[in-house]
Amino acid sequence: MKLIANNLTKSFAEKEVLQSISLEAQSGQAMGLLGRNGAGKTTTIRIIMGVFPGDSGQITIDGEKINRDKFKIGYLPEERGLYPKKEILEQMTYLGVLKGMNSKDARKSSIKWLERLGMTEYTNKKLTTLSKGNQQKIQLAATLVSNPDIVILDEPFSGLDPVNAMLLKDVVKELIVEDKIVLFSSHQMNYIEEFCDNIAILNKGKIVLSGNLKEIKRSYDRSKMVVLSTQQDKIEEFCKTSLNKMVVGLDRTADGLMIQLDSASKKNEFLSLLSQQNYDIDGMYVYEPSLNDIFVEYTED
């Protein structure tokens, strides 16, 4: 199953929020939708969900205009959207019915997700009595109660401690294995890097970068090497004295000893010469920019 947003535009009054953006997401994969506040992410999500239409462009699934009665969408908003003074099982069942389920199946699915997320003790509690992290888990359970085909997660890790974040990671991985389309929006780039095969970066209503994240990283200069070793002093001295024609820069970073070669084509030669010295080396790798670095590069004013 492939979802394509093609040439979407949207204006509110005189403000053009989306300017002919296009992106696609494949079932069994997670796609990261990134951008600074006000870039157009939420507008894009709302058009996909059918909250309002775009001024032009279309949303298709497998080449056909999206039928939201056929393909269910589960949305976890950044701002919580549940009823704070209603009992949890009651409102989850209600939300399942709104998504087209009968009451019995909605209740059964709600109980299943409460069990999956370790929240059964709160079944008959009001949402307002729960901690921020547990409210986020209930919000996730409500998002998934209807077994949606498309899952949109907007800042899903907000308010979660490390243990609950790990639980949510497991759930996201399960959704991907189950061949759901997963759209992931977050400012926590480490989670995007962990889950998303593909990304699209929005800036001022335009897609400024999109594609496979690994391929995007590999497109950057690959002449920097990082060496992890307890003998950085000796390696640095060796580079300065014996490899000074090949090594044009040295820098100690939190990652390790950063070595700038004069050409990416010298990587294998450098590795061979360094390995002959029998230094105690824990690891060596080609430096690639983090997603955070890439994001800043494409969204800075």
Q: What average pLDDT score do residues 234-245 get?
A: 93
pLDDT at 94 over 90: yes
Q: Are 101 and 109 in contact (CB under 8 A)?
A: yes
> Which range, of 73-82, 227-236, 242-251, 292-301, averages the lowest pLDDT?
73-82
d(CA 75, CA 42): 11
Q: Are 250 and 240 in contact (CB under 8 A)?
A: yes
The beta-carbon contacts of 118-121 under 8 Å, at least 24 apart in sequence, are: 118/167, 119/88
Biggest distance spanned by C-alpha atoms of the chain: 76
CA proximity to 284, closest of 297, 296, 275:
275
The residue with tokens 């907000």 is 158
Bridge partner residues of 287 (DSSP)? none
pLDDT in tens, 121-173: 999 999 999 998 899 999 999 999 999 999 999 988 888 889 998 998 999 99
The secondary structure element, H or E, covering residue 286 is: strand 281-286
Using a cut of 0.85, tell me whether the model's pTM lies above it: yes
Query: In this structure, is the dihedral angle defined by the CA atoms of residues 274, 275, 279 and 284, taken in order, positive or negative?
Result: positive
3-state secondary structure 148-198: CCEEEEECCCCCCCHHHHHHHHHHHHHHHHCCCEEEEECCCHHHHHHHEEE
d(CA 101, CA 18): 34
Domains of the chain: 2-217 (3.40.50.300), 221-289 (3.30.70)
From residue 244, alpha-carbon distances to 155, 227, 248, 262 in Å are 47, 17, 7, 10
**Whole-number mean pLDDT of the chain?**
92
> How many CA atoms does the CB half-sphere of 215 hold within 13 Å?
7
